[in-house]
Amino acid sequence: MGLGETELIERYFRRPADAQCARRGDVPLGIGDDAALLAVPQGRQLVAAIDALVEGVHFPPGVPARSIGHRALAVNLSDLAAMGAEPAWFLLSLTMPAADEAFLTEFAAGMHALADQHGVALVGGDTTGGPLVATVQALGTVAPGAALTRAGGRPGELVYVTGTPGDAAAGLQLLLDTASGASLDEQGRQYLVNRFLYPAPRVALGRLLPGIASACIDVSDGLAADAGRLAAASGCGLQIDAGCVPASAALRKQRGDAGARRLALTGGEDYELCFTVPPGKAAVLAAQLDIVKCTATCIGSLVAGSGIDLREDGQPLELDLRGFDHFAGA
């Protein structure tokens, strides 16, 4: 006999009262009724994001269920981080072909571990039969007027990216084609694969950026494409010096310096933050990065005008910068 929806939710998604995220005092009513009741702190604005992960689109069949649970939450926490918000709660809609208990155990473990790390609470959801799709809706709060958007950048501001983009795209390729890892040792291979399977949303840094950054976007479709979106929303042009684009040691070992930089500019699924900072605030940024143990690298600047001016060693660099679009080829 199968597992009913009510029992499924009780067994896998209701947390024990001592779980980190179950101790929040701002959930008058969580999982189990028609809707959740949430106490938004007075004087805070609500920030809401929704993102779905679809098997065969956002991850290949056969990736660990733990990764799917982790990523479904991570991509939404990344959206909140890009707004400078403090994440608080999330809801999950999970459709899957069958109520597979091994899958659910691992999926829930991946999701709960990330939720506990950031102190966010699963407060409601919906599970049904269907193709494998995990949709998370994340809610957070921010001080009124403090939220970062894509549109706040101004000419002359410096453009930064956190971490080492490109790793996730290389990791996904390794999962799909193990031969592509020939030049890597096992440690390097695992590092890149884990960067795809378990991206770390930049929650702590995102919360510190209001007051320092002027505009922010999370990098999900490729650094150059997403930085270009930020510049366009800000009514600016974008200059990128490819030589400044950071790349991990593993990515450089696999592809060489130039190849690593290209993937760092075009690969997707990074969930790093790309943001702009007035030059006068670069020192404050450096101090805050140190506090949250996060790296961020200046890759260029916003300029008057429009479009992307991408250079390597002073020469124009031609790359396909359209970014990943789920319908562009449809």
Report how far residue 145's alpha carbon sits from residue 1's, in angstroms, rounded to the nearest whole number.
Answer: 53
| Site map (CB under 8 A) of a copy of itself, residues 283-312, x = contact | ------------------------------
Of 89, 93, 77, 94, residue with least CA distance to 37: 89
Candidates 21, 31, 49, 197; binder of a copy of itself (CB under 8 A) is 49
Candidates 28, 156, 305, 307; binder of a copy of itself (CB under 8 A) is 28
- Give, as ranges, the residues between 146 and 165 that touch a copy of itself (CB under 8 A): 147, 149-151
- We find the least distance from the C-beta atom of residue 55 to a copy of itself, in angstroms, to be 8
Residue with smaller CB distance to a copy of itself, 85 or 108: 85
- We find the least distance from the C-beta atom of residue 56 to a copy of itself, in angstroms, to be 7
111 binds a copy of itself (CB under 8 A): no
Contact between residue 146 and residue 210 where contact means Cβ atoms under 8 Å apart: yes
Length of the chain, in residues? 330
Candidates 20, 45, 180, 297; binder of a copy of itself (CB under 8 A) is 45
| Token couple for 274 | 């790309």
Instruction: Please give the size of the binding site for a copy of itself, defined by CB under 8 A.
Output: 74
Options 48-56, 158-166, 182-190, 300-308: segment touching a copy of itself (CB under 8 A): 48-56
| Token couple for 300 | 């260029």
Candidates 16, 18, 62, 98; binder of a copy of itself (CB under 8 A) is 98
Residue with smaller CB distance to a copy of itself, 49 or 197: 49
- Give, as ranges, the residues between 3 and 22 that touch a copy of itself (CB under 8 A): 3-6, 8
Of 125, 128, 137, residue with least CA distance to 36: 125
Of 213, 170, 222, 216, residue with least CA distance to 191: 170
* Structure-token match 């950031």, residue found: 118
Question: DSSP readout, 227-277?
Answer: HHHHHHHTT-EEEEEGGG----HHHHHHHHHHHHHHHHHH-----EEEEEE
313 binds a copy of itself (CB under 8 A): no
62 binds a copy of itself (CB under 8 A): no
63 binds a copy of itself (CB under 8 A): no
Cβ-based neighbours of 15, under 8 Å, separated by 6 or more: 21, 22, 112, 121, 122
First CA to last CA distance, the chain: 41
Residue with smaller CB distance to a copy of itself, 11 or 253: 11
205 binds a copy of itself (CB under 8 A): no
231 binds a copy of itself (CB under 8 A): no
Q: One-letter amino acid identity for 164?
A: T
Radius of gyration of the chain (CA): 20
Candidates 15, 107, 127, 302; binder of a copy of itself (CB under 8 A) is 127
| Site map (CB under 8 A) of a copy of itself, residues 64-93, x = contact | --------------xxx-xx-x---x-xxx
Paired sense of beta strands 272-277 and 215-219, if any: antiparallel
Q: Sort residue 4 into left (φ over 0), alpha (ψ -120 to 50) or beta.
A: beta
